[in-house]
Chain A
Amino acid sequence: MAGPLVEARDLRRTYRVRPPGLRGLFGGSEERVALDGVDLDIHAGERVALLGANGAGKSTTVKLLCGLLAPTAGRLTVAGRVPHTRRAEHVRDLGVVFGHRTQLWWDLRVQDGLDVLARLHGVRDGGAQRAALVDALDAGPLLERRVRELSLGQRTRCELVAALQHRPSLLLLDEPSVGLDVGARAALRRAVLAACEQTGATVLLTSHDLGDVRAVCDRVLVLQEGRLVHDGSMREVVARLGGQRRLRVRLAEPLEAPGRLRDALGPAVLIDGVMVELGFSGAAPERVSQVSAAIEAAGGQVHDLVLSEPDLDAVLARLFEEEGA
């Protein structure tokens, strides 16, 4: 298909909300804006993260993309379809995983639940696709077990198989890692990547876990109070908000003249015995060379160094604060 898979133009969604108490009973409802004029293109094969604070409009966007809600104004198409007017056709081409909710049936074996879902989706040749997904997600040993017997991480892998076995062109992952421990989260990220590679599905991920975003997505959308305030790579978000990498250097022995190093690298450098630490923006190799040279010029010797990426949670928290202010 030539155009974008997902295309939104001036997308707007409002809700009527009754205020609490007598005012709500007699005073009518108020309009609350959930999405306010969002323009958006997502192309086939992209893996896009949708970020935002609670109430930013993420869930509304997902529900609009599912065809569960209709826009109040504007236009939204997915693969050329208006989701809410061609819902049945649309959901056949859609895979969805909602964290801590299951589309499988608690009391059935995973295999039986997948069979039912395949039939409901009218999948005739789902066997090969499912087998490939089960293989990619290492879900084979889980198929004979009842859903209620699975851990959350195992269940989420099965949910991925369920969401992708009918070969959807768009996969919506709504907080898929919520409640998972560190190991299960890492396994889920690997599983999502493997599944995407296997199916070529376009992914839209909402998550408060930036590890998920960094591992899975190559593009980030940030919503704030219903408006799209950023659309680009994670690196661009970080650069825009001044998120800094940090370089920690362990010296072979404490510097004799730490003041010279401070003069060379600026007052922001932290020097504590054999530890030297500073934040920076820009290309890492150049900055590392500069710092190493400055340390040698100050009479020191580098024993070890560690380069860490910006704290994305802090960066995005700052973004939400700034936009909300």
Chain B
Amino acid sequence: MIRAALASLGLGLRLSLAWRLDVLTRLLSGVVVLVLTGTLWTAVTDGRTEVAGRPGPELVAYAVMAWVVARVSATPIDAELGERTRTGALVHDLLRPGSLILHLWARDVGRALIAVVTTAAPLAAAGVLLFGVGLPRAPGGWLAATLSLALAHAVGVGLALCVGAIGMRVGRADGLVHAKGIVVALLSGALVPLDVYPGYIREVARLLPFAALADAPADLLVRGVALESAMPVLAGQAAWALGLLGLATLGIRSVRGHAVARGG
């Protein structure tokens, strides 16, 4: 199983590097949004010591890093599963030994690792240079942020697999994938810091799995929270990851026959 997972991870690494222009485009578009985000929140916090309970520079840093983190945790698995069901290519995925979910997860870990190196790291460096984003100084802070990022990715995969399972059942879930993208952008903190929402929306948003995708790791990163203090946040992310991956496992198992039976 480990051998197969490593093979899938290696596949994700290779596939992510297959189109260099695509890698470059992701980086450049990421820089553009990062500059706009950083500039916008710098303007919003300008002259104010605190916005929505956070010091101005910390809110800017949070907005920038949430965008950076989301480059890693956002996965295209959901759209891909629907597409592969529609074209019948899914049959090859199901004919490989081992778990489909583990294969997709491991493969996306490969994509995420490439995204860390080719997109997230350069964007974080740009955030430090352009907006003075402060990153953790203590190893414990980095450890907590790294664990949170890994869990954010697992939550992203779980969420995408749940949407993908619906795509496998109905044959086309483009609308749902699109809707998920909008909800994630708005409720994960990737585009709008959760702190600036009105009280009850903010509290509800923090209870939803979307916050585990960007808000949690970005908050740990910019505040440099040590591992011990980060445990409740990490536990919440882990719970969402387990719940969503479990739900996806059940969902995909229940729709597999339907997806396979459809078409010739």
Contacts and interface: CB of A to CB of B under 8 A. Distances in A.
Interface of A: 15, 54, 59-60, 63, 66, 68-70, 88-89, 91-92, 94, 96, 98, 101-103, 105, 107-108, 112, 116-117, 119-122
A60 B260 CA distance: 10
Contact of A91 (B10, B87, B95): B95
B15 A68 contact: no
A119 B97 contact: no
Interface in B1-49: 3-4, 6-8, 10-11, 14-15, 18-19
Interface in B95-144: 95-98, 103
Given A107-B15, A122-B3, A92 B97 contact: yes
B257 interface: yes
Interface string B232-264: 000000000000000000000000110011001
Main SS at interface, chain B: helix
Contacts of B18: 107-108
B7 A108 contact: no
Given A120-B4, A120-B7, A66 B95 contact: yes
Given A69-B257, A108-B14, A120 B96 contact: yes
B257 A70 contact: yes
A108 B7 CA distance: 14
B89 A101 contact: yes
Contacts of A68: 91, 94-95, 256-257, 260
A107 B19 contact: yes
Contact of A63 (B4, B11, B89, B261): B261
Contacts of A119: 3-4, 6-7, 10
Contacts of B92: 96, 98, 101-103
A122 B10 CA distance: 15
B76 interface: no
A66 B97 CA distance: 12
A47 B149 CA distance: 52
A194 B97 CA distance: 26
Contacts of A15: 261
A91 B3 contact: no
A269 B88 CA distance: 50
Contacts of A54: 264
Give the most central of A68, A70, A103: most B CB within 10 Å: A68
A117 B98 CA distance: 12
Contacts of B264: 54, 59
Nearest to B87: A101
Give the most central of B3, B88, B97: most A CB within 10 Å: B97
Contacts of A92: 97
Give the most central of A59, A91, A119, A121: most B CB within 10 Å: A119
15 contacts: A66-B91, A88-B97, A101-B92, A102-B89, A105-B14, A107-B19, A108-B11, A108-B15, A119-B7, A119-B10, A120-B8, A120-B96, A120-B97, A120-B103, A122-B97
A295 B93 CA distance: 63
